[in-house]
Structure 1
């Protein structure tokens, strides 16, 4: 693809929009190299990747890739056996960590049965090195600081430093808080030359002895290391030197450890950058409402409601653009400011975007071609340096285009033949179009020449087009009208702008009758086309609304039938239950009567007792007219839900109030201080008078908890991934609260400390947690946390 077309159509601005979504240096490198492809299979593969990215964005909110620095310089240094510093190792560690997390992310998608087209294969190429990654994470902080756990010796040295510093502070506090404090200009402990010192008033320097390390600008204060702490400071200094030496040894060891894996790490960075780039394409497509284009091997282009991606979406006018199947040349005529040039650029930039693997700013079902090149001559090519006029500049550009076109090229020419005598310019334009047509090349041009309107009507595979103007206001609507040549509105516009009517009348006498008739005919066609389009749009909108209403009705009917059957069964079960209770009572009465008969010799006959019991048993049967039963009516009323209704959440045994509807069948419910989303099948409407009340000034309902399931007071998170562990912890605390557990135990183990840190962060953020602390040494120590709710 020639570079000039990328310049003319401002392809770099599209890349600039994409850059805002990138988070990795490798992704930015890939974006810089992005150019349109000319091979069908290559374009198809790029669009398939973008489709995978769009699916992941829709289903999983995108691929989880953090900010990643450029590690190519570090890998080059490892190649020559150089040692990396902490920051450089931290950047490589992040790449290795991200490789593992991305692999886990795609494994989870496989478990969820989410099928992708091509990205899974690329992710499988990521190389994970768990043992080395864990060692790096344990040794180096994300900011490049070497951790205490990097080596046992470093851990011991830093403990010694901490103890020594505490000893120094303890010694020097005797000077800052004792009777000697009056000799200090300020009772503080500070540092000079990496030694702990105190600020002494100059005239009292002999009170302390020791070493003077600095003095104030005025000379009134001396920074003295007292003699009593010199030895302790020396020990601290020695420990600090040993710390630096051990840190340097650790950096050398870590650099040598990852050096053999530099190729795998470099490949991981490239793959992550590619995934980041796909992520960016998907996010850009979502935010701009771009869609996946269909591909035509025959270069049949059909853009539905296409819009220019660099124009504000609130202002841009969409157009249908079609070329390739029925005609290979479009001649757009009409006055300036109507949108002809933007239409050319819209077609061109959408082709470049599609052939670069980007979704396009058009409606779904749009089709693009795969052109071997897109050429354009748009704008003023006048050059003072080259002594070229506007006409000469354009002709120079057209000449270069004509030398390169093939049957699979697309040519965009703005104001073809302009800048010279109109008759000659029109003749030249027609000859150029004939030459382009003989090559089988697709071409779209704009022009003011009326002769080209007739040319467009006479030539095969050529169609006229124009940009619509409102006939009343003479203002452009920026709508492309295929099949209708543009009408010249010059005299009408001049008259509307206030040019003297005598001048306008005289101008009309110079216009031939044929031209006037042609303009009138075009004006009539434009008006009819506009009315037809408005009517079509109105009907399309009406059909869409009716289809949507029909779908909603069908869905509600299905839901109604399901709910009706369910209520019917519930009512039948409840009615049968009542009958069963009545039958048992009757059996007891009959049994009692039989005992009376036996004991007292009454005159109750056995056959009468049997007949009465049989009649009661006959009440327990299915009744086809049960839908009129009062039990069923009450059941229906319990599920007629509205905002503000009091309800029973059946699964929790809790009473609450409906706040708002969420989706088709879910409600947001307030239960005490808790808000939750509940399916309406789990709700039962109750009278507000039935709600439990608590006498207090706020008149709030008390929340009484019913145990919904057996809940253990212990949660074991060991062996779980971090995200899964945090989710289980949240659910566990919720169930513990609902089951009135006052104290629970969280077992997170010791390990790397990630689960322990995450557990404590969650407990700190939960307002229902009263307090928490590590378990006793014989109950797990810092491998378990006791939580008071």
Structure 2
């Protein structure tokens, strides 16, 4: 892809931000290698991997690659027969440990809930070199010293070294305590020079103590002498130290041989762990920036939802919404300087580069990003004294290079197109360039101050105006992008706010041609009308969605109520049968007792009387079941009257005609709702018949209303009506009913509430809301 625009769009700064989140140089190299791709499937794959890393980080909370080191040079050396250093061996051990830890962390996540296909596959390929790690850590400690336990020989040598050093120090301490030696000492201490134990002697006693002078102080006043009595001991100590060094070399050589056997596995581990380091850096970047992986499209539009420039502080950056594609091929942004036009331009280009690099971007759900063949930007002024380039020449040089490379899948970004030359010629040039790029099929985002480009965007079928808003009262930009509305000229308003006289401002206005002034007014008014139409359309869409939601909600409730009714029928049947069965058992017990009594007093009761009683009991439990009523309907042409039971075709529910509005319209009570429906949408219920007589009578909901009117009644009368109505409503399967008692003095409402508070089948009750009748209605929830 085109590289020349990366710096202008600040892409390299984003890579640096992500590189700084890696743990090792391996991860930094992985990020450094990343470049935007124009291949859809490659971009899709990279974004999928990034999404997996984000999921892993979200589920685990944090990712530990502690101990991972770049051991590639050590592996190269060991393959050539070199002996590894202690630090290199230790780095290999900790790198093996890091691989095992990340592999274990991946296995701890349940695969059925979190597939993470790519990450799991890679982690499973990490070689578990536990034995090599254990052997290295058996021989080398965290202090990067070879342990005495590494070999029997090393342990023996170090024991000799400890013993030899003790003997030398004991000998020298005895000399320091000697009165003859004490007067020669500069200080009463033992030190080391050239790996030999010595004592500091005053220079004037140079020939008074037999031994070897190894050093002297800077002033020459002190000589560091190895007394003759410890020369042999020091020599022996030096021999053992050489033996120790040779033994350590043998141990490191053995470890190097073990490493050489698994260099391929270690090389593969390093490649996988380095890639994981880079992936987890992307995931951490997403967490910090609250970024996400956008939906990718091959041919669809670019849609940004609350997009932010990642280099701006999240708390202060004003997010933008923007769509580019379908009917909108070009967006022309106008507005004041420092208002955010260039930031918007950079945001679009940078997020496109980041997406095609597999980086998460700071946007919200609903964002869709296409894969562009190239992202070309003419941003900034590259004047050069050496090259003798003016502002206009600089822009044109870049634009010419862009025009030579673009194709129908390119994204082109122009900042202040046509600037740096005569306004008339610059505007004409800008329009020509835009037309040329549009014919190529590219997507365009351009910023400008020229009114001619506002007209171009307003009249071209594939272009649209946009603006960054400016608050004239505060003289500050809001940085808010508004698509569909061109930026207004605020020069006169700003000048007036700053104190420029009205006379000068009016004179300036007269200098503007009437055509240009009217053009600006027309564009502004048309843009305003378009914005208002879009807002009305949006409101209408919301109202439609709310109506659809309400309709679905009502249908759902009716279906739920019907299910509850059938359940209540079945429950009533079972309860009735249970009662009869219980009565039968109790009667059998009574009959048994009667027979026993009859045997004792046969003259008082006869057997046929007992048989007759038993027969009557059996007839009381015929065992029939409830059968749903069969509905029959009156002819469609039959007129409807108030009180007729009808069925609403669109709802599939029953109701009652409560008012005749016209010859063709009726107000129908359906449950707690009153609906105005046409005659064609209603079917009059003629009658209902049942094929089997039920054991218990259950009132059909179609004959029980969801409300009862108690107005004008005394409390005692109302309570009797409520008692019967509650029984009917419960049997009909209602869960909510309305008691209409009016407001009045409140005595009836108080009596109703007292009664409801004690009723065992009342779950709760409340005063009606404003739309339900307010304090004149009590809404009751039934168990």
Fold-level match, TM-score > 0.5?
Answer: yes
CA distance in 2, matches of 1:156, 1:283: 51
CA distance in 1, matches of 2:119, 2:525: 54
- The residue that corresponds to 2:688 in the other structure is none
- The residue that corresponds to 1:256 in the other structure is 257
Structure 1 residue 16 and structure 2 residue 10: aligned?
Answer: no
> 1:275-314 CA deviation, whole Å, 9 max, x = no partner?
1111111111111111221111124111111111111223
- The residue that corresponds to 2:119 in the other structure is 119
Structure 1 residue 99 and structure 2 residue 99: aligned?
Answer: yes
- The residue that corresponds to 1:149 in the other structure is 149
- The residue that corresponds to 1:388 in the other structure is 389
Structure 1 residue 214 and structure 2 residue 215: aligned?
Answer: yes
The answer (yes or no) to whether the contact 1:87–1:143 under 8 Å persists in 2 is: no
Pair 1:381–1:205, CA change in 2 (3 A)? closer
> 1:16-65 CA deviation, whole Å, 9 max, x = no partner?
11122111121111111111122222222222222222222222123310
3-state SS of the aligned residue for 1:8?
A: coil
CA distance in 1, matches of 2:285, 2:350: 16
Q: How does 1:58-207 map to 2 (within 5 A)?
A: 58-66=58-66, 68-110=68-110, 114-142=114-142, 144-177=144-177, 179=179, 180-204=181-205
CA distance in 1, matches of 2:438, 2:142: 62
Structure 1 stretch displaced more, 34-43 or 88-97: 88-97
3-state SS of the aligned residue for 2:162?
A: helix
> 1:504-533 CA deviation, whole Å, 9 max, x = no partner?
211111223454455456667889999999
Deviation of 1:228 (Å): 2.8
The answer (yes or no) to whether the contact 2:484–2:527 under 8 Å persists in 1 is: no
CA distance in 2, matches of 1:108, 1:177: 67
3-state SS of the aligned residue for 2:6?
A: helix
CA distance in 1, matches of 2:54, 2:30: 19
> 1:602-656 CA deviation, whole Å, 9 max, x = no partner?
xxxxxxxxxxxxxxxxxxxxxxxxxxxxxxxxxxxxxxxxxxxxxxxxxxxxxxx
Structure 1 stretch displaced more, 268-277 or 38-47: 38-47
Q: How does 1:610-759 map to 2 (within 5 A)?
A: none
Pair 1:143–1:364, CA change in 2 (3 A)? farther
Pair 1:440–1:211, CA change in 2 (3 A)? same
Deviation of 1:82 (Å): 2.1
3-state SS of the aligned residue for 1:6?
A: coil
- The residue that corresponds to 2:430 in the other structure is 429
Pair 1:441–1:308, CA change in 2 (3 A)? same
CA distance in 1, matches of 2:447, 2:42: 32
Pair 1:128–1:489, CA change in 2 (3 A)? same
- The residue that corresponds to 1:363 in the other structure is 364
Deviation of 1:344 (Å): 0.4
The answer (yes or no) to whether the contact 2:486–2:527 under 8 Å persists in 1 is: no
- The residue that corresponds to 1:681 in the other structure is none
- The residue that corresponds to 1:459 in the other structure is 460
- The residue that corresponds to 1:321 in the other structure is 322
- The residue that corresponds to 1:492 in the other structure is 493
- Gapped regions of structure 1 (runs ≥ 5): 539-789
3-state SS of the aligned residue for 1:3?
A: coil
- The residue that corresponds to 1:243 in the other structure is 244
CA distance in 2, matches of 1:112, 1:201: 81
Structure 1 stretch displaced more, 507-516 or 132-141: 507-516
Deviation of 1:105 (Å): 2.2
- The residue that corresponds to 1:719 in the other structure is none
The answer (yes or no) to whether the contact 2:403–2:437 under 8 Å persists in 1 is: yes
- The residue that corresponds to 1:33 in the other structure is 33
Pair 1:530–1:229, CA change in 2 (3 A)? farther
3-state SS of the aligned residue for 2:128?
A: coil
CA distance in 2, matches of 1:520, 1:207: 111
Pair 1:386–1:203, CA change in 2 (3 A)? closer
Q: How does 1:560-571 map to 2 (within 5 A)?
A: none
TM value normalised by structure 2: 0.65
The answer (yes or no) to whether the contact 1:465–1:482 under 8 Å persists in 2 is: yes
> 1:423-466 CA deviation, whole Å, 9 max, x = no partner?
22222222221111112110111111111111111111211111
Pair 1:299–1:374, CA change in 2 (3 A)? farther
Pair 1:208–1:536, CA change in 2 (3 A)? farther
Pair 1:174–1:448, CA change in 2 (3 A)? same
CA distance in 2, matches of 1:14, 1:525: 40
CA distance in 1, matches of 2:418, 2:220: 85
Pair 1:143–1:459, CA change in 2 (3 A)? farther
Deviation of 1:101 (Å): 2.1
Larger Rg: 2
- The residue that corresponds to 2:225 in the other structure is 224
Deviation of 1:362 (Å): 1.4
3-state SS of the aligned residue for 2:455?
A: helix
CA distance in 1, matches of 2:537, 2:292: 23
> 1:145-176 CA deviation, whole Å, 9 max, x = no partner?
32223322112211221222122222222233
Pair 1:394–1:193, CA change in 2 (3 A)? same
Pair 1:351–1:213, CA change in 2 (3 A)? same
3-state SS of the aligned residue for 1:218?
A: coil
> 1:396-441 CA deviation, whole Å, 9 max, x = no partner?
2111111211111100011111222222222222222111111211
Deviation of 1:203 (Å): 4.2
Pair 1:204–1:394, CA change in 2 (3 A)? closer
3-state SS of the aligned residue for 1:240?
A: helix
CA distance in 2, matches of 1:533, 1:159: 90
CA distance in 2, matches of 1:328, 1:158: 80
CA distance in 2, matches of 1:153, 1:526: 91
CA distance in 1, matches of 2:113, 2:212: 73
CA distance in 2, matches of 1:231, 1:451: 101
CA distance in 1, matches of 2:110, 2:401: 53
The answer (yes or no) to whether the contact 2:467–2:486 under 8 Å persists in 1 is: yes
3-state SS of the aligned residue for 2:332?
A: strand
- The residue that corresponds to 1:756 in the other structure is none
3-state SS of the aligned residue for 1:5?
A: coil
The answer (yes or no) to whether the contact 1:468–1:526 under 8 Å persists in 2 is: no
CA distance in 1, matches of 2:456, 2:402: 22
| CA RMSD, Structure 1 to Structure 2 (Å) | 2.8
Pair 1:443–1:222, CA change in 2 (3 A)? same
Deviation of 1:178 (Å): 5.1
CA distance in 2, matches of 1:224, 1:532: 102
CA distance in 2, matches of 1:189, 1:530: 92
CA distance in 2, matches of 1:168, 1:293: 74
The answer (yes or no) to whether the contact 2:67–2:97 under 8 Å persists in 1 is: no
CA distance in 2, matches of 1:377, 1:348: 11
Pair 1:169–1:114, CA change in 2 (3 A)? farther
- Gapped regions of structure 2 (runs ≥ 5): 540-783
Pair 1:429–1:527, CA change in 2 (3 A)? closer
Q: How does 1:564-603 map to 2 (within 5 A)?
A: none
TM value normalised by structure 1: 0.64
CA distance in 2, matches of 1:530, 1:470: 19
The answer (yes or no) to whether the contact 1:292–1:364 under 8 Å persists in 2 is: no
Instruction: Count matched residues.
Output: 538
The answer (yes or no) to whether the contact 1:202–1:220 under 8 Å persists in 2 is: yes
Q: How does 1:331-370 map to 2 (within 5 A)?
A: 331-370=332-371
3-state SS of the aligned residue for 1:265?
A: helix
CA distance in 1, matches of 2:61, 2:532: 43
